[in-house]
């Protein structure tokens, strides 16, 4: 029963994200709205971490399983992707390195700020 309650909390926040995505004319995915809302609710202690922790850990554990449909979709559309494979790989590598660098810099700044 605990897992159902935790999953319903996460699902409810996800639904709020979907509603915001529908109402606001911004090019932001609904999942981002949901993650920001959940982050704010956890940070402001409106929702205690223990209220979603176990289900969140379970969802993270099964995350690789969720990439299987996307991989199958790539295999199905291989004829379309093959001509643009090099630019897509280039963009993917550059954006990944950029995200890693920015994340690392922000994490370092936060650690230094916390130490001071």
Residue whose entry in the numeric block shows the structure tokens 């001509």:
83
Q: What is the pLDDT of residue 73?
A: 87
- Mean pLDDT for 95-108 is 96
What 8-state DSSP symbol labels residue 46?
A: S
Q: What is the pLDDT of residue 81?
A: 86
- Mean pLDDT for 48-62 is 95
- Mean pLDDT for 5-32 is 95
Residue whose entry in the numeric block shows the structure tokens 């205690």:
48
- Listed in sequence order, the DSSP H helices in the chain are 2-23, 30-43, 53-61, 63-66, 68-76, 78-81, 85-115
């Amino acid at each position: 029963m605990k897992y159902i309650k935790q999953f319903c909390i996460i699902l409810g926040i996800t639904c709020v994200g979907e509603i915001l995505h529908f109402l606001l004319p911004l090019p932001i995915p609904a999942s981002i709205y949901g993650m920001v809302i959940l982050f704010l609710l956890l940070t402001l202690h409106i929702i205690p971490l223990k209220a979603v922790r176990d289900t969140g850990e379970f969802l993270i554990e099964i995350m690789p399983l969720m990439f299987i449909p996307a991989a199958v979709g790539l295999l199905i559309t291989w004829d379309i992707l093959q001509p643009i494979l090099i630019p897509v790989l280039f963009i993917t590598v550059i954006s990944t390195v950029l995200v890693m660098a920015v994340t690392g810099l922000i994490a370092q700044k936060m650690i230094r700020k916390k130490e001071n």
